[in-house]
Amino acid sequence: MEINVYLCMYFFQELAKYEDMEDQVVLTEKDLLEDGFGEHPFYHCLVAEVPEEQWTAEGHLIVGFAMYYFTYDPWIGKLLYLEDFFVMSEFRGLGIGSEILKNLSQVALKCRCSSMHFIVAEWNEPSIKFYKRRGASDLSSEEGWRLFKIDKEHLLKMATEE
Amino acid sequence: MECVVRPCRAEDCVEVMRMIRELAEFEKLPDQVQINDQVLREDGFANDPFYRCLVAEVPPEYRSRDGHTIVGYGLYFFTYSTWKGRNIYMEDLYIMPEFRGIDLEENRMNLGSPGICTPNYAGKGIGKKLMSKIAEIGVENRCIEMKFVVLDWNQAAIDFYQSQGAVDLTAAEGWHFFHFKGDALVRLAQGQTGL
């Protein structure tokens, strides 16, 4: 479990580098362990492993992962939300990403989810093509949904205002 | 006017379902509501619930024209960011139109258009009270951020959220929502994506 968490941390940082947002990673391995393997898991993770003869030069046997959790749409019920999805660059184009997505969709259907949701940056053309080729639709373009966030400082202000 | 914001109970699901349908009408997507109050109840009151909900309740003497005392709801759940950890996600925030624009502090009604908060009354009513409670729950549970979506034509909501410090990540960082739904999800699971 600890090895997996360490590897997950490595991947989260790799994904942040790919998305050019490295300085935004503030999570630690301790947080990941507590939040993923405590009484109420906040996330679930699937990993893609290769046999020893295909380990990377650095000795990695886990070459891809997907991190997901369950959310809720009051119109259609349970959803599977894909938070992160990453395959190491030297292992792309081999069908590993497709296999991970296939596994995830099977988890979604088994848990009676109507849909699998995720976000993609609009500049990320390879990912957009990857998902659209497999039947995904862009709800932001089609229906006008915009994602907003409120940071902790403003949450605190809202929570403590009289 | 008193208004209590409290956790939704199983028996409140009928009322929450009524308001879910009203919100879908307002968002011009009424045909998309596919669940009913029974499903809502099962999914919200299981051992590991899929969502949590707060309701806004008024005393009987302030009930709505149709006789309802539950006049708003906020539906939320916890999500996770690989970079920052726990988040709280506000899925729905809805107040019945006749209860919008009420200044709870001064106990006055905003006599402007329903569904629109004039500047004097924005942030003092039931919607703000519900949202503040969700923010409080987020802080108590060590959440680093609250996230939610808004339709791009809903300028009144966008203005209100931005006044509370919200940032539009779609505009600022280019994030788009995607989904695999229904048949597309089934085909993906069967490996039949036509590739």
pLDDT digits (tens, 9 = 90+) for B42-94: 999 988 899 999 999 999 999 999 999 999 999 999 999 888 889 999 999 99
**Which of B40, B43, B82 should one mutate to test binding to chain A, selecting the residue with the greatest count of A CBs within 10 A?**
B82
Within chain B, how many helices (H) and strands (E) appear? 6, 9
| Chain B residues whose beta carbon lies within 8 Å of the beta carbon of residue A114 | 34, 181-182, 185
**pTM for this entry:** 0.84
The pLDDT tens digits for A26-80 are 677 777 778 888 777 889 989 888 887 777 677 767 888 899 999 999 999 999 9
Sign, CA torsion B5/B11/B13/B19: negative
- B152, with CB counted inside 10 A (0-12, 13-18, 19+), is middle
In B, residues 19-38, which contact A (CB 8 Å cutoff)?
Answer: 20, 24, 29, 32-35
Query: Given an 8 Å threshold on Cβ–Cβ distance, is A12 in contact with B82?
Result: yes
- Reply yes or no on whether B161 is catalytic: yes
Kindly name the residue from B76, B89, B94, B161 that is annotated as catalytic: B161
- pLDDT band of A144, cuts 50, 70, 90: confident
At residue B30, what is the residue type?
A: P
What is the per-residue pLDDT across A104-132, written as a single tens digit (0 to 9) for each?
999 999 998 989 999 999 999 989 998 99
DSSP E strand stretches across chain A: 44-49, 62-73, 77-87, 115-121, 137-138, 145-151
Q: What is the pLDDT of residue B119?
A: 38
Q: Least CB-CB distance to B79: which of A40, A71, A140?
A: A71
**Predicted-complex ipTM score:** 0.83
In angstroms, the CA B177 to CA A121 distance is 9
* Partner-chain residue, chosen from A134, A157, A158, that has the shortest CB–CB distance to B193: A134
**Domains, chain A, ordered by start:** 5-160 (3.40.630.30)
pLDDT in tens, A72-103: 999 999 999 999 988 988 888 899 998 999 99
Give the tokens for residue B22: 């009203």
A146 and B86 within 8 Å at the Cβ level: the answer is no
Angle at B144 between CA A1 and CA B152, to 5 degrees: 120
Residues of chain B short of pLDDT 50, as ranges, are 108-122
Q: Where are the alpha helices (DSSP H) in A19-75?
A: 29-37
Cα separation values, A138 from A29, A85, A121, B150, B167, Å: 33, 17, 11, 15, 21
Six-digit token pair at B125? Answer: 């009513």
Burial of B64 (0-12, 13-18, 19+ CB in 10 A): middle
Q: For testing the chain A interface, which of B185, B186, B190 should be mutated: the one with the most A CBs within 10 Å?
A: B185
DSSP state of B99: G
For residue B112, the model assigns a pLDDT of 38
For A34, residues 6+ apart whose C-beta sits below 8 A from its C-beta are none
Per-residue pLDDT for A4 more than 60? no
How far away is chain B from the Cα of A84, in angstroms, using its nearest Cα? Answer: 7
Answer yes or no: is pLDDT of A18 > 70: no
Residue A158 has a pLDDT of 85
Backbone angles phi, psi at A23, to 5 degrees: -75, -5
Distances in Å between the Cα of A38 and the Cα atoms of A30, A42, B13 are: 11, 9, 29
Closest Cα partner for B18 from B67, B61, B59, B62? B67
Q: Which of A158, A160, A161 to mutate to test the interface with B (most CBs of B within 10 A)?
A: A158
Backbone φ, ψ for residue B81 (5° rounding): -110, 130
